[in-house]
Structure 1
């Protein structure tokens, strides 16, 4: 695999993520309208059981999301989002040995879930909401910054790039600079190219092909392509039939140096991670 950064140990609350090797982040949507599993895990006990199963399958991180970011998703209030995510963050922190990532752009949710035991902020808007930079800085937690133009509801309305990989890189550099100015050092940041966000199939494929260029930014990469439309559009598969395409992309992402794979199918993805690690460790 490609080497990405010199410092590999990332403190995440009361746990440490060792980025010398790859990790799987299991997706836990506690929303009624997520594109893949909306409503399945909105009840606390069901959500906790699913998180427990993903940890047993090998997930190092659980990404808890209370606001759907699919195209056309309904906006939720900070209060509603917090009511969805706070109870499960608290339960996971108390009962499971795993790093909790909170998929949020909302300052109040960042602050409260950090207090309840979250170890990572995963923001699809790269801390561009009012107050998000200050809130993230105040938590002291690492942050994953993702590339997206516009808002989820409108992001797929004819996105345009002259050079998608270069422009994604430029966006992320600007966000790194803004984070540094707000007191969030680069050492606390993970980068996500934002596959499926404000990008056509051609954009997604080109960005994936040239992903290694983003290593020049010096931060570990998180890749989230699980069950996404780029797989469906490339293969002509509905959401429920995108596993194998997703596993192919997982293997390619690892070969291109990604350190975190954000997925729905943890056990299957862990087989990919372990198989590649076995080959890498051979004589």
Structure 2
């Protein structure tokens, strides 16, 4: 996992989780406490409510990316950029300033005016964006998005996130963002929940991960909370996201999110060990999908993914005859079979590939064992 240097701020496994506070200069943005059109008032908000509360990065948005609103042109964003630049000049606190945009012209003008980082909500749909970020040597958060400047983050299936993130490649300082939120009519709350379940997979890119999950619908729906009541579910998800590998958390609730992120970090397993020139990293692999992403990152055949994760399951209620069948077939499938001393409980230890072979090899006329083995983890 590479560490990205964002204007002196380290972002990666070896750094603390970074908090990205949000300021909007767009009247359309739904979270009104973060919306300003007066640069002096905005600067005070940034100092007192973001930086003083623990924000490492301040992300300034020029427009709402909500699908209900018309997309601003680059010229429209440049008009609003004047307010954002005035805010950066007026802030007294120390933070990395990120400009949220989809246009390379806006990113370049912002960097030249004092911004340190780019948050590209269209994931390099503008093919000039990576060039600008490389020329100015700035970090860039790349959100998964179709190759269309008018459809930010409108990825409709979870598996499409991978192709979207790979659009027009990566810079040396790219941070990946899997794009949580209702960016399109087709995207469902279940899609966001699946993305969150699979968050570890995105570590396969070997790049830091940014998540924007603050008060999102897919979390509020679980607990039946309104936006105003959703802080608790956001904080729970923040700790889980950091434990699963997120490095930057974008939020409106800076102080509380910082605490939740630190808890997630505290209880994340240490995975890197170094001896001399050799470093050993235990990869964050819990599914065959996780393993496949790492193999793909190395340019290797992904077929071994099914043999890369060991799962352990306990079975009870197995008859003597069924136990004998499993004992024979497990060896052939490459699955370890262990019977408890009371013979009522047994363990199966194997890879998803081994469990798939076991399921295929068992011939169970009455179907009881077959039905049980259908529930073995084979992915």
Alignment correspondent of 1:142: 139
- 1:40 corresponds, among 35, 51, 61, to 35
Tell me if the contact between 1:93 and 1:118 (Cα under 8 Å) persists in the aligned partners. no
Match of 2:339 in 1: none
Do structure 1's residue 190 and structure 2's residue 175 form an aligned pair? yes
TM-align CA RMSD: 2.7
**1:236 offset after TM fit, Å?**
2.9
Deviation at 1:211, TM superposition (A): 0.8
CA distance 1:38–1:279, shift in 2 (3 Å):
closer
**Deviation per CA, 1:188-216, whole angstroms, max 9, x where unpaired?**
11000001134311110011011101111
Cα offsets for 1:230-251 (capped at 9, x unmatched): 2233333222221111111101
CA offset at residue 50 of structure 1?
Answer: 1.4
Which residue of structure 1 aligns with residue 6 of structure 2? 12
Name the residue aligned to 1:24. Answer: 19
In the TM superposition, 1:272-283 aligns within 5 A as 272-278=260-266
Contact kept? 2:22, 2:251, Cα under 8 Å: yes
Aligned residues of 2:146 and 2:153 also touching (Cα < 8 A): no
Aligned to 2:67: 71
| Structure 2 residue 223 is the aligned partner of structure 1 residue 235 | yes
Cα distance, 1:90 vs. partner?
A: 4.7
3-state SS in 2 of match to 1:24: strand
Of 248, 254, 261, 2:242 maps to 254
Asked whether the equivalents of residues 243 and 267 of structure 2 are also in contact (C-alpha less than 8 Å), the reply is: no
- Hey, which of these two has a bigger chunk of helix by percent? 1
The partner residue of 2:214 within 219, 226, 229 is 226
Shift of 1:46: 1.9
**Partner residue in 2 for 1:82:** 78
2:201 equivalent in structure 1 = 213
Q: How far apart, in 2, do the equivalents of 1:247 and 1:44 lie?
A: 30
The structure 1 residue matched to 2:259, chosen from 262, 271, 274, is 271
Partners in 2 of 1:188 and 1:156 — Cα distance? 20
Kept in 1, the 8 Å contact 2:239–2:262? The answer is: no
1:252, 1:153 → 2: CA distance?
32
Distance 1:154 1:89 in 2: 26
SS of the equivalent of 1:100 reads strand
Distance 1:39 1:98 in 2: 17
User: Which ranges of structure 1 fall in alignment gaps of 5 or more residues?
Assistant: none
Which protein, 1 or 2, shows the higher relative CO under an 8 Å CA cutoff with sep ≥ 6?
1
Residues matched between the structures, number: 263
1:102 shift after superposition? 0.7
For residue 241 of structure 1, give the secondary structure of its aligned residue in structure 2: coil
TM-score, structure 1 length as denominator?
A: 0.83
Is the aligned partner of 1:179 residue 2:196? no
Structure 1 residues 85, 243: closer, same or farther in 2, change over 3 A?
Answer: farther
Task: Identify the residue that residue 127 of structure 1 maps to in structure 2.
Answer: 124
Deviations 1:68-112 (A, max 9, x none): 101212222323322323443354256331000111112221011
Structure 1, 30-39 or 187-196: larger mean CA deviation: 30-39
Query: Which range moves more in the overlay, 240-249 or 147-156?
Result: 147-156
In structure 2, the partner of 1:98 is 95
- The answer on whether the counterparts of 1:64 and 1:85 sit within 8 Å (CA) in structure 2 is no
Cα 1:25–1:39 change in 2 (3 A) is closer
SS in 2 for 1:179: coil
After superposition, the Cα gap between the structure-2 partners of 1:93 and 1:124, relative to the gap in structure 1 and judged at 3 Å, is same
CA offset digits 1:139-181 (Å, max 9, x no partner): 3211111112476976799x743xx2x4312332x22xx235x
Q: State the secondary structure of the residue aligned to 1:57.
A: coil
